[in-house]
Structure 1
Amino acid sequence: MTVAALQRLLDEIDTQGGPDAARQWRLHLPDTPQQEGPDPMAQPVPQLSSVPEVPIQPTAVEPQPLPVGQLLKWGDEHDDPDVRDQAARARATLTGLRRRHAADQELAAITTEAEQLEQRLAALRAREAELAPSKTAKGKRKAADYPAAEVRAWAKEQGIACPPVGRVPKAVVEAWRKATPAPAP
């Protein structure tokens, strides 16, 4: 990076909030540096005629990815307090992610178990229905097709024995029907 490019980068950082914005990852910098002219570093290197030409291979040092634990340890032990602060925030974020991951795993297990229990309960209820005596086998009694209070009052006037509660005996109902005219439909 040239001095001019570095100066442009620092100016851009200052316009977007300065070092605090950079520490909090709030910068929006272009991926490629914008050049205002020919880059002096891109100019061909003059070759001396007495020195044989040796092709120069650029040796870009690719940073080796570190496991998270080692990276956090490096950040915790760094001299720069900003790097230590980033390591602490990263550790807190990872702790939160681990907790959320564990909770999601537990919720998934609970949901699976609940579905299995619901299926088992449905199977048990179906089997119970097969084994239980049918409630419709006894047959439901039909509602009385006569006014019970009126029949009881008539039976009392006639001196016919009739229980005060429960079903009116069939013989009493038949006698009442014969004695009273049928209502018009």
Structure 2
Amino acid sequence: MIAARFARLSAVCVLLLGASFAGAAPASATGADGSCADGAGVTVVVDFGDLGPAPLIRCAAGTPANGVAALQDAGFELAGSQKYGLAVACRINGKPGPDVESCAGMPSATAYWSYWHATAGGTWQSSQEGAQTAKPAPNSFEGWAFARPKSANDLPAPPRVAPVRQAAAPAPAPASEGSSFPWGLVIGAVVIVLVGGAGIVVARRRRAQ
């Protein structure tokens, strides 16, 4: 009985020690937050409009083959319609929900994703072709804005974020030695104490028998 308890305690301690050194899972390598550096790729802006959240800006590195690839390479999830596939953008990052759009065929004329292009520092221009055939120009901006015009005759508004390359945020200063709390060492020490204490208890009980 004592040996079994000791074995269970040791197993728990090993798990704790492993967790202390496991660290966080690596972030997805797809896309990067913020606009692309000059010459690094195509910047993609997604404006969710009244669906929320605030507009997102991400970088699709390199030279995406088309607008769909740029959106996906920037790290956005795209769902097309059941009838037309990705030729018709229905949801971006799960928006709009099924209460607004069923994604069966063409979207509603008063609730849909509009597609835009721009040069860096230029003006948004409504795309004259679909995202599956449009090829983003190198170093350019791609824009998606969820539109809710009052009627089918009203023109959609472009993304509310101007196609301007943002300055890169300064890199955080390197942490000085000893500035971060050594949780791994602390947990490791606790594990050693627990295992050692359990071993002493077992040895004493065996001698008492």
Task: Please indicate the TM-score interval, normalised by the length of the shorter structure.
Answer: under 0.3
Point out the structure with the larger strand share: 2
TM-score by structure 1 length?
0.25
Greater RCO (CA < 8 Å, at least 6 residues apart)? 2
Q: Give 1 or 2 for the bigger CA radius of gyration.
A: 1
